[in-house]
């Protein structure tokens, strides 16, 4: 069985190298020639632990190659994965332009029966749209070739994409006919033999499952953030509440950390897209509207807390920022709360000195070159003369800093921690004024 993967982003690239690692012959396609060129040389285009090794190993074994040639990629394989982006449109709906474009190209070059799996996160009904788009492209060239659509949403997490792809906790497939399911079961056989569970269903249910999973996880985060705001008001500590909650096996320990809000390429856009789908079908998804609102309040409140303490006008003042990636382990900055805050700080006249171990280059491109913003090579450098330190990403290197050194370097011993990474007692002893999320303020300085 030969595989082609369309799109070489976090999902497409991980999918391609992991199927190649299972022994398949894989051709991965992207519309960006620079990406394809780098990948063919074994240079990862994204930061993902383990990616470089698995990429190089499979290139050397000639099990994977990268191309921009749609004709070759479609013709050479029996199984085609669509893994292109589905970013938010202006109205919150998923922008399906890339998916439709990939479908068009597939139809244009289809030369034999194929099974087409959609890995991109797409709203309910999109697999039928893909099917119709391919049919229309085939009809245009006078062909009535048969093909099967399978919805195969992806659940990998950035920062552990390779691990998650090799060891998925579940493989969801939505299909319409048994012959397609048979091909997909065989395709995933090496993963199933490794312990992965395949869950089979109809196409609309598979499409909804993906959004429901992300919306559910985003809801867990938002409700903890809402509790954190209540804790602030009543003098409770959200960390104690979290530990108390996590001991309940019906709730569990995952995704119940309060913080400055979720970001990334999935939760924000998928929550929005699901709300939009609800509107389209005249179903007001009230909880999800609140989840999104709470997430925004969280980052806005963090920034306002900084302004309240250091002043609205930042003239002559400097803020050190630790972390621009939306979470540790990735260089993805999409919808990162850090970017929102940096833009607010700069707009108020503060200068910002930022550090991130892997995401700085992406942030530089996003924010553009400007004299009041610098990205430094070492975390300590960001602190020199800073009025305050703001922490947005819980990178390991931030967890145990030399607080005495920090104090010496900064103008004021003032920390705003959006991820609750420090112990309150340690901060008290270290002589910092320490603001965190839903926990008592420590060491207020006059
Ligand atoms: N990033 C994640 O953690 C994650 C997890 C699960 C699901 N998803 C979903 O998977 C999909 C892809 O996400 P991503 O983060 O990998 O996106 P991405 O933006 O990192 O990558 C998308 C890639 O598709 C390429 N592309 C665009 N149009 C194309 C076309 N017509 N043909 C071929 N390639 C094309 C782009 O050049 C880009 O390299 C999205 O729907 C996303 O919601 C993402």
Half-sphere exposure of 371 (CA within 13 A, CB side): 1
Q: Contact at 8 Å (CB) between 345 and 352?
A: yes
Atom of ligand 1 nearest to the CA of 14: 16
Which entry of 18, 165, 231, 266 is annotated as an active-site residue?
266
231 catalytic residue (yes or no): no
Cα of 36 to ligand 1 centre, how many Å?
14
Q: Contact at 8 Å (CB) between 393 and 322?
A: yes
Tokens of 173: 């497939």
Question: Count of residues for the chain?
Answer: 446
How far is it, in rounded angstroms, from Cα 166 to Cα 53? 14
pLDDT in tens, 316-347: 999 999 999 999 999 999 999 999 999 999 99
Q: Contact at 8 Å (CB) between 172 and 117?
A: no
Residue nearest to atom 10 of ligand 1 (CA): 120
Cα of 119 to ligand 1 centre, how many Å?
9
DSSP H helices in 311-354: 337-347
Count of CB atoms situated within 10 Å of the CB of 250: 5
| Binding site membership of 84 for ligand 1 (Cβ less than 6 Å) | yes
| Binding site membership of 217 for ligand 1 (Cβ less than 6 Å) | no
Cα of 317 to ligand 1 centre, how many Å?
39
Atom of ligand 1 nearest to the CA of 105: 31
Nearest alpha-carbon partner for 118 in 85, 167, 166 = 85
Cα of 7 to ligand 1 centre, how many Å?
6
Q: Where does the pLDDT of residue 444 fall: very low under 50, low under 70, confident under 90, or very high at 90 and above?
A: confident
Category of 440 on φ-ψ map: left (φ > 0), alpha (ψ -120 to 50) or beta? beta
Q: Is 173 helix (H, G, I), strand (E, B) or coil?
A: strand
Residue 315 has pLDDT above 70, yes or no: yes
Count of CB atoms situated within 10 Å of the CB of 347: 9
| Binding site membership of 106 for ligand 1 (Cβ less than 6 Å) | no
pLDDT in tens, 43-62: 999 999 999 999 999 999 99
Give the DSSP per-residue string, 104-169: HHHHHH--S-EEEEE-S---TTHHHHHHHHHHHHHHHTT----EEEEE------TTSHHHHHHS-S
What pTM does this model have? 0.96
pLDDT in tens, 229-285: 999 999 999 999 999 999 999 999 999 999 999 999 999 999 999 999 999 999 999
Q: What is the pLDDT of residue 317?
A: 98
How far is it, in rounded angstroms, from Cα 393 to Cα 342? 13
Residues whose CB falls within 8 Å of the CB of residue 355, separated by 6 or more in sequence, listed in order: 320, 321, 322, 323, 375, 376, 377, 378, 379, 381, 382
Residue nearest to atom 38 of ligand 1 (CA): 9
Residue nearest to atom 21 of ligand 1 (CA): 9
pLDDT, averaged across the chain: 97
Residue 383 has pLDDT above 60, yes or no: yes
Residue 376 has pLDDT above 80, yes or no: yes
For ligand 1, mutation pick of 5, 8, 12 (most atoms within 8 Å of CB):
12
């Amino acid at each position: 069985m030969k595989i082609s993967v369309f799109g070489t982003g976090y999902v497409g690239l991980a999918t391609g190298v992991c199927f190649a690692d299972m022994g398949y012959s894989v051709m991965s396609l992207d519309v960006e020639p620079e990406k394809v060129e780098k990948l063919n040389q074994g240079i990862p285009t994204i930061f993902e632990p383990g990616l470089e090794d698995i990429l190089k190993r499979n290139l050397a074994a000639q099990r994977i190659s990268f191309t921009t040639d749609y004709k070759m990629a479609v013709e050479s394989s029996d199984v085609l994965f669509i893994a292109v982006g589905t970013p938010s449109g202006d109205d919150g709906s998923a922008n399906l332009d890339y998916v439709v474009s990939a479908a068009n190209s597939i139809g244009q070059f289809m030369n034999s029966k194929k099974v087409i799996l959609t890995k991109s996160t797409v709203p309910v009904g999109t697999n039928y749209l893909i099917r119709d788009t391919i049919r229309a492209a085939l009809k245009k060239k006078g062909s009535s070739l048969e093909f099967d659509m399978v919805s195969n949403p992806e659940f990998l997490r950035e920062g552990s994409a390779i691990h998650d792809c090799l060891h998925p906790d579940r493989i969801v497939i939505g299909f319409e006919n048994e012959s397609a399911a048979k091909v997909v079961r065989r395709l995933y056989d090496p993963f199933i033999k490794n312990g992965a569970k395949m869950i089979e269903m109809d196409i609309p249910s598979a499409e909804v499952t993906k959004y429901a999973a992300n919306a559910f996880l985003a809801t867990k985060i938002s409700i903890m953030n809402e509790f954190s705001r209540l804790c602030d008001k009543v003098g409770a500590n959200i960390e104690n509440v979290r530990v108390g909650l996590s001991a309940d096996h019906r709730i569990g320990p995952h995704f119940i950390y309060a913080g400055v809000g979720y970001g990334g390429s999935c939760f924000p856009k998928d929550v929005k897209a699901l709300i939009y789908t609800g509107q389209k079908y005249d179903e007001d998804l009230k909880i999800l509207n609140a989840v999104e609102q709470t997430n925004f309040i969280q980052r806005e409140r963090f920034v306002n807390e900084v302004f309240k303490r250091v002043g609205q006008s930042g003239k002559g003042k400097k803020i050190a920022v630790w972390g621009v990636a939306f979470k540790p382990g990735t260089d993805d900055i999409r919808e990162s709360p850090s970017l929102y805050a940096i833009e607010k700080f700069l707009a108020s006249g503060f200068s910002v000195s930022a550090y991130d171990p892997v995401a700085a280059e992406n942030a530089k491109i996003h924010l553009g070159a400007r004299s009041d913003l610098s990205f430094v090579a070492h975390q300590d450098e960001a602190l020199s003369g800073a009025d305050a330190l703001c922490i947005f990403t819980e990178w390991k290197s931030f967890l145990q800093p030399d607080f005495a050194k920090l104090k010496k370097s900064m103008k004021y011993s003032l920390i705003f921690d959006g991820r609750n990474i420090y112990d309150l007692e340690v901060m008290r002893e270290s002589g910092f004024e320490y603001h965190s999320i839903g926990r008592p303020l420590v060491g207020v300085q006059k």
